Amino acid sequence: MAKYDNNFIDELRARLSIVDIVGRRVPLVKKGQNYWGCCPFHNEKTPSFSVAEDKGLYHCFGCGAHGDIISFVMNTEHLEYPAAIRELADMAGLKLPEFQPKSAARVEQENSYFDICERACAAFQKFLFSDSGAEALEYVRRRGFTDEMIKKYRIGYAPKNNLISSTFTDVKQNNLLATGLVRRGEYGLYDFFRHKLMFPIFNPKGRVIAFSGRSLDGSEPKYINTSDTELFHKRMTIFGFNFARDEIYRKNRSIVVEGQIDAIQMQCNGFGETVAPLGTALTEDHIAILCKSNRNIIFCFDGDAAGQKAAARACSIVLPFIRDNSDVRFAFVTGGKDPDEVLKTAGAGAMQKIIDDAIPLIDFLWKIVNTNYLVKTPGGRVQAEKFLDAEIKKITDKKLQYEIEQEYKKREFQTWRSWKKTDAPKIKMPGIDAVTKNTLTYIVNNFESLATQYADFLSGLNIPFDDDAPDLKWDSTSAEKFIVSLKLKKQLEILDARRREMMQGMVNGENYTNDDIAEINKKIDEVNKKLEKLLYME
């Protein structure tokens, strides 16, 4: 049967989580590293249907059904292969390529690309330990790389002359050009990487698909990478992922840093779950790949303005991928350092402290809002709330979206609005007993719309509403009746105090009249009628 291009199928599998696809039909619960539910292919009461997100596979231990996202959609939607691919492409937001078989010539061509990259990697490794590579070898050792690390990561050196274009004469020029290692100039082919410290880039299976070259003479850009090729796409390639996969599984998380040297040093100093984007900003594809291995991610960036900006971007990108069991955090390396410098100067213990102090996503997003908007002003609060609403809507799990929305409403009320002393009414309110305080605390923390509606009144009570309170299990009607009745009682207390003040003033010869007292009595009667009507309402 004809198949779509393998690159497209791989991109589909990278973009889409099998947990999300299966979860549309089967309620799943995470137990250990896998998700479990009742098999959709046979009747059962005890879940025996396992979904491995990192492998992109499902398996039923009851009936033996197994496969990937494509077979699951085919079998549950009763679709042929092309229709299943079309539906998955729509979910992933990918344009469907032409439906065509993959020829033997095409397979041979792709294998040629892999062979060229492998040969180049071996040549670069050899030149690092030659006389011409002495400068590069001294540099990489000065950066803290041992010979064992150099061998493991296959670090090499591209000499100043045209090593690849002059020695790979047995390779078809078009194939050589397709790998990005050489380019065509006015006088023939020339090497793209010259006088560079070379870091090979591996695919998840550990095959060399591209290179990243670092300048040794201080010239900019500091790093240059292979341009996108048929084997290599920067937006979908994560540096160090082939080394980190098993450790991500064991540690139940991944750590994302900004550069490849940071990633290597982290991996070699006890943080084997560390990876890095490659010469580009973090993308949705990077996050999708990581989340297929594990949805717990710690982003570790520099603490400067650029690092904060990169973290804010990562926060926005990761939101559609989080689930109720995700743990996404943000760590920052301050003092103008990066993870590599911290490990060399202060050791793994200091780096562990930075990771341990990472800020949860929900707190980091709140920090972004309070940093970027003037929440002390009405306009600033409106802008902040609109930003938060837009970000929260990116969360695809509706229940999680609702819970986070409620959490932020509490924070908005507690931090931006209600009981700030500067915002409180000037009227001195009578005291609140412990029972009333606990009841109001329960209402404020469980009925956010009421808290906002009666914010002016509640803010004048000077109650610390973030204290613990008993669960009264009230509905919103009962809660609102309590607030309104308390508000009316407080009005009565204020009016009564005002009446006594005016009567004493008349005794003292102050300029009050019986009409003033009568007006106060009228107001008291009106409030009493409202209170009586409220108390007898069903």
Give the whole-angstrom CA distance, residue 118 versus residue 465: 64
Answer whether residue 389 is part of any domain.
no
> What pLDDT, on a 0 to 100 scale, did the predictor assign at position 423?
42
Q: Is 67 left (phi over 0), alpha (psi -120 to 50) or beta?
A: left
Q: Tell me if 127 is assigned to some domain.
A: yes
Within a domain: 325: yes
The span from the CA of 39 to the CA of 64, in Å, is 10
Cβ-based neighbours of 248, under 8 Å, separated by 6 or more: 54, 254, 273, 290, 293, 294
Note whether 318 and 286 are within 8 A (CB): no
Low-confidence residues of the chain: pLDDT under 70: 1-7, 97-103, 279-280, 417-431, 456, 460, 462, 466, 535-538
Helix boundaries (H) for 204-346: 241-251, 260-268, 284-293, 305-318, 339-345
Asked which of 232, 258, 283 is the last residue of a domain, the reply is 232
Query: Are residues 366 and 244 part of one domain?
Result: yes
Q: Of 217, 232, 247, which residue is a domain's last? A: 232
Do 245 and 201 belong together in one domain?
A: no
What is the number of alpha carbons within 13 Å of residue 482 lying toward its C-beta?
21
* DSSP three-state, residue 227: coil
C-alpha–C-alpha distance, residues 253 and 301, integer Å: 16
Q: Are residues 272 and 291 in the same domain?
A: yes
Please report whether residue 266 resides in a domain. yes
Q: 176 and 141 in one domain?
A: yes
Same domain, 57 and 137: no
Do 35 and 131 have their domain in common? no
Torsional class of 172: left (φ above 0), alpha (ψ -120 to 50), beta (otherwise): beta
Token pair listed for 480: 């609102």
Nearest to 201, CA basis, from 188, 217, 214: 214
Q: Is omega for the bond preceding 221 within 30 degrees of 0, making it cis? A: yes
In a domain, 409, yes or no: no
Nearest to 70 by CA among 59, 57, 61: 57
- Give the per-residue pLDDT at 202: 96
Examine the domain organization and report whether 209 and 145 are in the same domain: yes
If one counts the domains in the chain, the total is 4
For helices 260-268 and 241-251, what crossing angle results, to 10°? 50
Looking at the structure, tell me whether residues 460 and 487 fall in a common domain: yes
CA-based nearest residue to 145, from 129, 159, 158: 129
Q: Is residue 375 part of a domain?
A: no
For residue 18, the domain's CATH number is 3.90.580.10
Residue 38, phi then psi, degrees to nearest 5: -80, 135
Asked if residue 174 belongs to a domain, the reply is yes
- 267: tokens are 């991996």
85 and 15 within one domain: yes
Please, are residues 129 and 94 in contact by the beta-carbon 8 Å criterion? no
The pLDDT value given to residue 379: 85
The closest of 411, 414, 409, 466 to 442, measured between CA atoms, is 466
Which of the listed residues 199, 232, 265 is the one where a domain comes to its end?
232
What is the rounded CA–CA span in Å between residue 168 and residue 11?
31
Instruction: With respect to residue 76, please indicate whether it lies within any of the assigned structural domains.
Output: yes
Count of beta carbons in the 10 Å neighbourhood of residue 467: 10
Residues 6+ apart with CB under 8 A from 359: 329, 330, 331, 367
Instruction: Show the beta-strand stretches assigned E in 179-253.
Output: 182-185, 188-191, 196-202, 208-215, 223-225, 238-239
Q: Are 457 and 469 within one domain?
A: yes
Which residue range forms the structural domain that includes residue 275? 236-370
Q: Which domain CATH number covers 289?
A: 3.40.1360.10
pLDDT for res 384: 92
- Phi first, then psi, for residue 228 (nearest 5°) are -55, 135
| Same-domain check for residues 220 and 248 | no
Same domain, 27 and 127: no
Q: d(Cα 273, Cα 206) in Å, to the nearest integer?
A: 16
Residue 536 has a pLDDT of 65
